[in-house]
Chain A
Amino acid sequence: GNSVTQMEGPVTLSEEAFLTINCTYTATGYPSLFWYVQYPGEGLQLLLKATKADDKGSNKGFEATYRKETTSFHLEKGSVQVSDSAVYFCALSGSSGNTPLVFGKGTRLSVIA
């Protein structure tokens, strides 16, 4: 079945540091890939998505590129801020459009001033 593996946290960075959170997936066909973010005490929010190979999703300075050859969708940001502290979830949905999202376990990011 479909699955997502993302790097375990927690990740602690200083403000303005570079962020990478690794995500790899297993799926048949051509899934769509997502990053969701969960701020403390809040629900999940879509951060970015990519629906086909080589697509780059971007939002709020975050980027991720859909790499089919390495089955990866790593999240990056060039300069993190304290307000980026949250839990980040990588997820995929199957290519048929009738399968629900499958999530990774999440990576907690803490950014310190």
Chain B
Amino acid sequence: DTGVSQDPRHKITKRGQNVTFRCDPISEHNRLYWYRQTLGQGPEFLTYFQNEAQLEKSRLLSDRFSAERPKGSFSTLEIQRTEQGDSAMYLCASSPEGVSATIYFGEGSWLTVV
């Protein structure tokens, strides 16, 4: 069990550029989540997948954000035309299916938009 892996860990980009983050969940987990965390705040839910199906999206996920999980394994989160307000840590997590299943988090990807 290698845990949830995220890449890159840090990304600095210029405003208006596109960025993509990758998440590799724990291999037997069929649920995958994306959260955003800003300084001094708790993680805020963005979206989640069960296998390859995207089941829920937060209102925080504007049309500049898109997430995919094409084969039900790894996932990508793309942010188009980045804005300074997108600067945050993007957390990926995974869990098995089931009520009260434990959700395991990766170490996050820090995004700084300059």
Number of B positions contacting A (CB below 8 A): 25
One of B12-20, B40-48, B74-82 at the interface:
B40-48
- B43 surroundings in chain A (CB, below 8 A): 44, 89, 101, 103
A45 to B97, CA, bound (A): 19
What distance in Å separates the Cβ of B88 from its nearest Cβ neighbour in chain A? 14
Complex: how many Å from CA A97 to CA B98?
6
User: Does A46 have its Cβ within 8 Å of any Cβ on chain B?
Assistant: yes
In the assembly, what is the distance between CA of A107 and CA of B41, in Å? Answer: 9
A104 vs B107: C-alpha distance in the bound complex, in angstroms?
19
CB pair B104 A46 closer than 8 Å = yes
| Contact B40 A105, beta carbon cutoff 8 Å | yes
- Cα distance A43–B42 when bound, in Å? 12
A-side contacts of B42, CB under 8 Å:
4, 89, 91, 103-106
Chain B residues, Cβ within 8 Å of A32? 99-100
B25: Cβ under 8 A from any A Cβ? no
Seen from chain B, the residues whose Cβ lies within 8 Å of a Cβ on chain A are 4, 33, 40-45, 48, 55-56, 91, 93, 97-108
Q: List 27 A-B contacts (CB under 8 A).
A: A4-B42, A32-B100, A36-B105, A43-B91, A43-B107, A43-B108, A44-B43, A44-B93, A44-B105, A46-B103, A49-B100, A49-B102, A89-B42, A89-B43, A97-B97, A97-B101, A98-B55, A99-B56, A100-B33, A100-B48, A101-B33, A101-B43, A101-B45, A103-B42, A104-B42, A105-B41, A105-B42
Q: Which residues of A contact B (CB under 8 A)?
A: 4, 32, 36, 42-46, 49, 51, 89, 91, 93, 95-106
